[in-house]
Structure 1
Amino acid sequence: MCGPQAAAQPGKQVLGLALICPVVVAEHAERDVPERTVLYRDPAVTGALDAEDARDYAEMAVTESQENWELFRDHALPGLRAFDRRAIGRIAGRQDHVVGYRDAFRLLEHYPRATMSVLDGAGHNAHLDQPDLVHTLLDEWLSRVAASQMSEVSR
């Protein structure tokens, strides 16, 4: 077993697990993904980019805007440029057409205290599409993990 489900195996050694748009089903053809959706297009943004940047951004953007492009450029594009595209071919925002969100619900049976959030207006780069909401959710999760750890220490 690999991926997010494998993290359930160590038991109490893992205090918590935060996943943002995780791959749950390895084979892309077997994933339950929604159709590619763009909620807002701004041709001025993509028109100002070179062809490769415009292609990569347009392939992932759910909401095209100058701010979203800058977040994508600074936080996602370096990874896209660095990874081996041939190798990746071998191996949950609501609009995530890359890994989808429905398959992630399978993880709930492994994590009885899990919180699952599906963010409208977010794709595979949910942390860039909805940064404030993702920050709030992660902050709340960290608080629960810390509280859980404190209750374990006091036992």
Structure 2
Amino acid sequence: MKLNEIIQKQGTSPDKLINILMEYQKTKNTKELTREDLKIVAQELGVTEALVYQVATFYTLLSTKNRGVHIIQVCEDIPCYVNGSVNVVAELENKLKIKMGETTYDNMFTLEHTSCLGCCNMAPAMRVDGKLIGNLTPEKISEIIDEYRGEKK
């Protein structure tokens, strides 16, 4: 779906900004919102480009950078940290052969930190493509990554 079609469907009220950006980002293989995309949204909604950019860079579900097919976001807040998120991140980096903030060579995975996911009872936790996965251990990481690798989208 094209950006203009999404704006037409959602409407041009500024309160639709996040919905428009999220819906459009899902249609892009790179999951990246470009400066041109943000400029079009700003013009259509009658808001400043600065506002649209602030929103696009504030929320971890949105991105102005190229991302992989699967986006892995690991919670970095205190409950996850004290329950071993550092070990989970180390195993993810080892398994994917990338560092936090990078995308794999095959463009399958992007690894990111995120703020609290709201599931402290399942710490440490991460979100993969919007799906929450908790009670993580380094041992579970290999199984999870293998599952997503087999799910080539």
Tell me the TM-score normalized by structure 1: 0.25
- The structure carrying a bigger strand percent of its residues is 2
- The structure carrying a bigger helix percent of its residues is 1
Tell me the TM-score normalized by structure 2: 0.26
